[in-house]
Amino acid sequence: MDDNLKSFLQYIFEIVENVERRNQATAISCASCGLSYAEFKKSGKLGCQGCYTSFRSSISQALKNIHGTNEYRGKIPQGQADKYTEMIIRRELSENRVLLKKAVESEEFEQAAKYRDIINGLQTQVEGIAGQARNDTKG
């Protein structure tokens, strides 16, 4: 089969699968309150606590599309960023350690090296902040 035709057919099948997934998602409704996914999508409001479970995968994907992640990272009060800098860096350090471990496990060594370098840079920043804090308490 010609590569162009094969690529075209794969593209068509992907479109059909996406439409089928959307249709299945809109057919879902909450077992607790009966709210349908289509109603939720229209109003933007969930009906009850059970909706979070019923619509979990769709909500998760929507959050990833909107925010780039579906993980809550906390809120930093306006004008207080300096106080939270070390906390933010430590969080990034932890996230990159997890990514490094996954990259090593999947034998993606170039990516692992990038994460290692990021981790080293973040550790240097944390050490600098800790040193500055010690100097501030002395003086």
Asked whether the beta carbons of 51 and 32 are under 8 A apart, the reply is yes
Task: Please give the average per-residue pLDDT across 113-121, as a whole number.
Answer: 94
Domain assignment present for 20: yes
Q: Which pLDDT belongs to residue 121?
A: 93
Domain assignment present for 76: no
Domain that holds residue 58: 3-67
Domain assignment present for 114: yes
Task: Please give the average per-residue pLDDT across 13-24, as a whole number.
Answer: 70
Looking at the fold, whether 35 and 87 belong to one and the same domain comes out as no
Domain assignment present for 113: yes
**Confidence class for position 80, pLDDT limits 50, 70, 90:** low
d(C-alpha 22, C-alpha 124), whole Å: 46
Give the global pTM: 0.42
- Side chain identity at 17, as an amino acid letter? E
- Side chain identity at 58, as an amino acid letter? S
Looking at the fold, whether 22 and 63 belong to one and the same domain comes out as yes
Q: Which pLDDT belongs to residue 114?
A: 94
Domain assignment present for 72: no
Reduced to 3 states, what is the DSSP secondary structure of residue 60?
helix
Name the domain boundary from 42, 67, 92: 67
Looking at the fold, whether 63 and 85 belong to one and the same domain comes out as no
How many domains does the structure of the chain reveal?
A: 2
